[in-house]
Structure 1
Amino acid sequence: MSSRCRWLIAVSLLGLASAALAQDIPANMPKRKPGLWEMQATGMGGQPQSTKFCLDADTDTAMYKMGSHMNGQACSKLKIDVQGANKVVTDAVCKINTPNGAVNMTSHSETTYQGDTAYSTQGHITYDPAIMGHAEMSIVSSGRWVGQCAAGQKPGDMIMPNGQTMNIKDMQGH
């Protein structure tokens, strides 16, 4: 998968994963177990991209809140509906600043949690104007707890598909 496609998937996942952009997280939002998580995402018919992530409770909360300030994104609509104990439905309409100008992004996602050790998300995103020739995309992602964080890892450390490590808290200026 090209780096351009990976960028598109990353922007799209931001729209899905950072659902609580401009509002408080619902009190009944499912929590993920602290430790090392493996997450996979597939979009645009490409190969699954796998990321590992060291998570604690503070980082889990921060991930939900971080999106509104990244990439110049501003959401005019954001609805998070926690249904029962294990399902979260998110709808958003956001403006994303891309290297080629502003793009309106509309997203709908449904995440189902299997306790605090696994989840799966299905989402659909539309772009106006299209990004890199894509006016819409379906994304499937999942995450599972794989154990304790490795020695030397700190909460927020993310190991990207290319092996590069970055810390999401550093990206937020924490």
Structure 2
Amino acid sequence: MRRVLVMGVALLALAACQKKVEATAAVGEAPAASATVSAVSPPKRKPGLWAQTISTNGMTQTMKLCLDEATEAKMTVWGQQAGKDICAKNTVTPAPGGWTFVSECDMGQAGKVATTGKATGDFNSKYVIKATSVTTGSTMAQANGTHEMEMTGTWEGACPASMKPGDMTLPNGMTMNIGAIAGK
């Protein structure tokens, strides 16, 4: 459970980088057909309730996240807007069948996190993110090292009345607002 939470934090670290995403396309390469966006703009998740299942180190946990357009703009999976200048690098590049990403973020006492990965899917009904993060310098010893993670997001429909945009329900039933945590 602790490792899943550490990976969740690492994924949120990716989403917490404020530096504008540098989206680049290789010469002669077009974005994936399922991504109906320009070469400089990665896809955005559809507003509504998303079930996000994170698998790492043989453990799987599912969280629910309520998104609207404003929350997605602040807390995108690409890490475009949230946080305050903690990522020295945050690039997203179109690749065959999806998008690749690389980030290098300084999370203070949580350590320096370097992440590489690939995202596939249509971001309207489903997406899959496979990432490798290397954490160094964390005061939490279990966070240091190389961590493989896969996150599958599945759109479940409109957010329930009990959730507001930015609310995330954790596997233990606790709900927190990720926008409030990021100070947004």
Coarse TM-score class (shorter-chain normalised): 0.7 to 0.9
- 1:49 is matched with 61
Aligned CA-pair RMSD = 2.5
* Contact 1:43-1:137 within 8 A present in 2 as well: yes
Looking at structure 2, the residues matched to 11 and 83 of structure 1 have their Cα atoms a distance apart, in angstroms, of 26
The alignment-based identity, stated in percent, is 28
- 1:23 is matched with 20
- 1:111 is matched with 119
- 1:34 is matched with 47
TM-score between the two structures when normalised by the length of structure 1? 0.80
- 1:169 is matched with 179
The structure with more strand, counted as a fraction of residues:
1
- 2:160 is matched with 150
- 1:132 is matched with 141
- Give the residue type in structure 2 aligned to 1:109: G
Q: How far off its partner does 1:165 sit? A: 0.9
Looking at structure 1, the residues matched to 182 and 136 of structure 2 have their Cα atoms a distance apart, in angstroms, of 27
Q: How far off its partner does 1:163 sit? A: 0.3
Q: Kindly report structure 1 stretches of 4+ aligned residues shifted beyond 6 Å.
A: none
Q: How far off its partner does 1:114 sit? A: 2.8
Alpha-carbon distance change, 115 to 62 in structure 1, aligned in 2, over 3 angstroms: closer
- 2:34 is matched with none
Q: How far off its partner does 1:93 sit? A: 1.6
- 1:94 is matched with 105
> Between Structure 1 and Structure 2, how many residues are aligned?
163
Looking at structure 2, the residues matched to 163 and 9 of structure 1 have their Cα atoms a distance apart, in angstroms, of 18
TM-score between the two structures when normalised by the length of structure 2? 0.76
- Give the residue type in structure 2 aligned to 1:108: T
Looking at structure 2, the residues matched to 97 and 19 of structure 1 have their Cα atoms a distance apart, in angstroms, of 13
Alpha-carbon distance change, 156 to 141 in structure 1, aligned in 2, over 3 angstroms: same
Alpha-carbon distance change, 128 to 141 in structure 1, aligned in 2, over 3 angstroms: same
Unmatched segments (≥5 aa) in structure 1: none
- 2:92 is matched with 80
* Contact 1:28-1:82 within 8 A present in 2 as well: no
